[in-house]
Amino acid sequence: MNVTFINPPDPTKPDYKIPFMADLVPAGFPSPAQDFVEKRLDVNDLCIPDPPNTFLVTVDGESMVNAGIHDGDTLVVNRALKPRHGDFVVATIYGEQTVKELHTKPRVRLMPHNKAFKPIYINAESELIINGVVTSVVRVLK
């Protein structure tokens, strides 16, 4: 799976606050809509709480579809977070970018979430760099 880097948001541009409805939206039977806005929310505050350590990437491939990460999705990645067992990470292995679930027990490996792909086992000779921990997935519905 290749990962294409996207430039992070420009901190010199103004913040845009978007209306945020406090009520939950049922995904089942619809309920009457509320006619008021509870507050205004900047999407950057929601998805990017640590801008200096955050970057965005676009997913290319299907190895993580069963984890809800699809081809074309944008990942919000924080490079300051310490990667832990079970985190989704953007990593470089042998010079290739990938997004996988990090497993550290019983041995280090990068786990896909699609049975068509095999785990990547890490050994002493492996060239693994963890670029950051995935904190959000952004998907544009078409």
List the domains of the chain with CATH numbers.
2-8+51-138 (2.10.109.10)
3-state secondary structure at position 39:
strand
136 is an active site residue: no
Per-residue pLDDT at 131 exceeds 90? yes
Mean pLDDT of 62-81: 95
| pLDDT reported for residue 11 | 56
3-state secondary structure at position 129:
strand
- Give the span between the Cα atoms of 110 and 47, in whole angstroms: 24
Return the higher-pLDDT residue of 94 and 8.
94
Per-residue pLDDT at 31 exceeds 60? no
| pLDDT reported for residue 51 | 85
17, 31, 82, 100: the active-site residue: 100
| pLDDT reported for residue 18 | 52
Whole-structure pTM value? 0.75
31 is an active site residue: no
DSSP string of 41-81, one letter each residue:
EEHHHHH-S-GGGEEEEEEESSTTGGGT--TT-EEEEESSS
Percent of the chain at pLDDT above 90?
Answer: 54
13, 17, 31, 63: the active-site residue: 63
- Give the span between the Cα atoms of 72 and 37, in whole angstroms: 31
Question: The tokens 């997004």 sit on which residue?
Answer: 99
Q: φ, ψ for residue 123 (rounded to 5)? A: -130, -175
Angle at 73 between CA 108 and CA 28, to 5 degrees: 105
Mean pLDDT of 48-70: 92
Q: What is the pLDDT of residues 80-109, one digit of tens each?
A: 999 999 999 999 998 899 999 999 999 999
Per-residue pLDDT at 130 exceeds 60? yes
